[in-house]
């Protein structure tokens, strides 16, 4: 392995990085897409030493260039050459460092900034265009290029209001992103894994939305190109407008039918509470092993169907149902979504967000 020189970096710089998908996987990943919640990071495998160190080239790629690469109009070499900086990670994982447990990731790992001139032996060719056949993680028939859409705001805002808005909006955006087919197929697998978490309390619900948002590729994360605070004003997002429309529509319908939806949620919670299932770990338990009468299962499904059809999120709830291990977890997931939507609706009730 070639000796490289450069300024050492703390491994904490990688703590916010989350694997999104593999762009090239030939028996093992050699080119992967990561996100830090803001930017798109490329991890390009370069070399392996006799001592077992895998070398990776890490760099940021803009939304525009990533879209061009995925559409075949720009090469990986061009992405590398146009990156503002280049990091090199030497990692001691036995095969591929993503598969290592968290405590092992920091063992024999070295991160540094390296000048591009030192990396010539590792750079891809000028003809390194994207080949869809080398990955099973992407569906390029789905939307890739983000677009701009606006959220109208009004009234008097405080800093806490903005924090509340973006936190709730991120969670709803993550829900709608994960529950409809997107160009990154792996987020559906993440949804399935999270629905099979213990779901024993509030943390399970929060973890669901936070983890889903972390899985969204940087190209589709909520970027804010402009914000106009006035009376009225707008927050402009650059992401997937279809999701913004879905959030707005579901919020409007929740406000219109709040009493009936709230009653349905209360019935689901009462059914689970009466059976002492609210905090029980049922992550791997099928319906036939849960002590609940058939009519109670049917009641949960009926209430969830009513909520989904009223909010026009039947497709999203069908995805939840598909990936939930049982009806109880499905019911909990539906109620948690309504809770998140209702919290966002508070901004409409306070006339801070407009329809």
Give the model's pLDDT for residue 26. Answer: 85
Give pLDDT tens digits for 288-323: 999 999 999 999 999 999 999 999 999 999 999 999
Instruction: State whether the Cα torsion 65-67-71-77 is positive or negative.
Output: positive
| Confidence at 197, pLDDT banded by 50, 70, 90 | confident
Q: Tokens in use for 65?
A: 């260039």
Give pLDDT tens digits for 202-235: 656 778 898 899 889 999 999 999 999 877 899 9
Give pLDDT tens digits for 170-192: 999 999 999 998 888 888 889 99
**Closest C-alpha to 345, from 260, 249, 267, 264:** 249
The number of angstroms, rounded, from the C-alpha of 87 to the middle of its chain's C-alpha atoms is: 24
Mean pLDDT across 83-95: 83
Give the model's pLDDT for residue 280. Answer: 87
In the chain, what percentage of residues exceed pLDDT 70? 95
**Side-chain half-sphere CA neighbours of 220 within 13 A:** 27
Give the model's pLDDT for residue 93. Answer: 63
pLDDT of 340 higher than 50: yes
pLDDT of 101 higher than 50: no
* CA gap 64, 285 in Å, rounded: 45
Torsion of CA 63, 68, 72, 77, to 10 degrees: -80
| Confidence at 279, pLDDT banded by 50, 70, 90 | confident
pLDDT of 94 higher than 50: no
- The model carries a pTM of 0.88
Give the model's pLDDT for residue 202. Answer: 64
* Kind plus residue range of the DSSP H or E element containing 21: strand 18-26
Mean pLDDT across 261-287: 93
Give the model's pLDDT for residue 53. Answer: 86
Average pLDDT, the chain: 91
**Closest C-alpha to 295, from 263, 327, 325:** 327
**Side-chain half-sphere CA neighbours of 250 within 13 A:** 29
Give the model's pLDDT for residue 331. Answer: 95
Give the model's pLDDT for residue 81. Answer: 96
Give the model's pLDDT for residue 350. Answer: 95
Domain ranges in the chain are 8-134, 147-349
Give pLDDT tens digits for 48-70: 888 778 999 999 999 999 999 99
Please report which residue ranges of the chain form alpha helices under DSSP H: 63-70, 76-81, 102-105, 159-178, 186-195, 202-215, 241-256, 258-274, 294-311, 314-323, 327-349
Q: Are 316 and 175 in contact (CB under 8 A)?
A: yes
Give pLDDT tens digits for 117-171: 999 999 999 999 999 999 988 888 888 989 999 999 999 999 999 999 999 999 9
Give the model's pLDDT for residue 95. Answer: 47
Mean pLDDT across 191-200: 86
Give the model's pLDDT for residue 48. Answer: 87
């Amino acid at each position: 392995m070639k000796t490289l020189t450069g300024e050492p970096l703390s491994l904490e710089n990688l703590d916010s990085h989350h694997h999104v998908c593999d762009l090239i996987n030939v028996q093992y990943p050699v080119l992967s897409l990561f996100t830090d919640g803001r930017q798109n990071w490329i991890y390009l495998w370069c070399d392996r030493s006799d001592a077992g160190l895998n070398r990776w080239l890490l760099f940021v790629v803009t939304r525009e260039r990533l879209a061009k690469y995925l559409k075949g109009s720009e090469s990986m070499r061009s992405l590398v050459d146009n990156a503002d900086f280049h990091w090199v990670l030497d990692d001691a994982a036995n095969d591929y460092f993503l598969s290592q447990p968290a405590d092992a990731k920091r063992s024999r790992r070295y991160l540094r900034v390296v000048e591009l001139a030192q990396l010539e032996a590792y750079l891809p060719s000028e003809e390194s265009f994207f080949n869809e056949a080398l990955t099973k993680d992407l569906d390029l028939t789905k939307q890739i290029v983000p677009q701009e859409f606006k959220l109208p705001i009004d009234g008097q805002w405080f800093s806490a209001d903005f924090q509340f808005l973006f936190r709730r909006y991120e969670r709803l955006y993550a829900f709608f992103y994960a529950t409809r087919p997107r160009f990154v197929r792996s987020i559906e697998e993440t949804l399935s894994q999270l629905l099979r978490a213990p779901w024993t309390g509030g943390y399970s619900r929060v973890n669901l939305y936070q983890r889903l948002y972390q899985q969204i590729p940087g190209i589709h994360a909520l970027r804010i190109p402009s914000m106009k605070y006035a009376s009225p004003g707008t927050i402009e997002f650059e992401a997937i407008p279809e999701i913004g429309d879905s959030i707005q529509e579901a919020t409007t319908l929740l406000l219109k039918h709040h009493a009936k939806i709230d009653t349905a949620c209360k019935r689901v919670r009462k059914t689970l509470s009466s059976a002492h299932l609210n905090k029980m770990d049922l992550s791997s338990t099928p319906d036939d092993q849960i002590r609940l009468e058939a009519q109670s299962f049917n009641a949960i499904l009926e209430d969830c169907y009513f909520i989904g059809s009223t909010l026009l999120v039947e497709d999203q709830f069908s995805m939840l149902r598909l990936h939930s291990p049982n009806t109880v977890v499905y019911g909990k997931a539906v109620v948690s979504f309504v809770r998140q939507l209702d919290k966002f609706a508070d901004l409409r009730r306070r006339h801070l967000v407009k329809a």
